[in-house]
Structure 1
């Protein structure tokens, strides 16, 4: 299974915000630059994550993007279910003649749900663990970013 770019960016955005120091706010443009993504695409993802209650985006001076309290405890499987709105395969778009008797669509939907279910036990906190075992992978700003290149 391959995630849509929208879902991929949504997860990366949440992880980036979660890995930031306490109280830091971001702009969509700033996060887009850090994640090598289009500012317009990031803005759409921010809007959706706001609708899902994962983050808050405030306009104007002193505004910015920040995660809501408890967002880092959210399930990755749950986030993906909310972000991945389409089916694995779109049979109607292909005008497939096998639709009346095909079982592939159902099997793929079950496999997709198994994929999400596997990620239900993984939280954002798990992905950015600050447990001393290794560096937080999303410390993108400053010297670390230069080292990665």
Structure 2
């Protein structure tokens, strides 16, 4: 399974915010610069994460981005479910036009595989992804 760029950037932004040890909130531009990606894409990702309550965004002087909840309470499986289109095939939607849909073993197998993938991600919090926060912080500092 390949995750979309939006989900990838969502996870990256959450990691970035989780490992920061600065008092001031992070900016979209700083996060984008650290990863070498478009600030426009990162702004869209930040908007999504604000919408789902994972981060807070404050405008104006002294504003920026912060985690809305502790990293230990941000479940990776939940983030992926919210940011990813989990419809692997056309038949995973409500309006399947495939004539073999009711008897398709492939659909059942892919559905179980996807469920196993998400179940594995459910076992991890953002905190688990940043246990090496000193190393991550160093790598992100060098990337700027």
TM-score, with normalisation over the residues of structure 1?
0.80
Matched, 1:41 2:37: no
Match of 2:70 in 1: 70
Q: Measure how far apart 1:101 and its partner are.
A: 4.1
Match of 2:113 in 1: 111
Task: Count how many residue pairs are aligned between Structure 1 and Structure 2.
Answer: 141
Aligned mates of 1:32, 1:50 — CA distance in 2: 17
Cα distance change, pair 122–96 in 1 and its aligned pair in 2 (3 A)? same
Higher relative contact order (CA 8 A, sep 6+): 2
Structure 1 stretch 7-16 or stretch 35-44: which is displaced more? 35-44
Query: What CA deviation, in whole Å up to 9, does each residue of 1:99-137 have, x standing for no partner?
Result: 454332332122112111112121111111158xxx432
Q: Assess if the C-alpha contact under 8 Å between 1:10 and 1:49 holds in 2.
A: yes
- The unaligned stretches of length 5 or more in structure 1 are none
Cα distance change, pair 17–63 in 1 and its aligned pair in 2 (3 A)? same
Aligned mates of 1:35, 1:78 — CA distance in 2: 23
CA RMSD across the alignment: 2.5
Cα distance change, pair 36–97 in 1 and its aligned pair in 2 (3 A)? farther
- The unaligned stretches of length 5 or more in structure 2 are none
Match of 2:135 in 1: 136
Q: Assess if the C-alpha contact under 8 Å between 1:129 and 1:136 holds in 2.
A: no
Q: Assess if the C-alpha contact under 8 Å between 1:15 and 1:138 holds in 2.
A: no
Structure with greater helix percent: 2
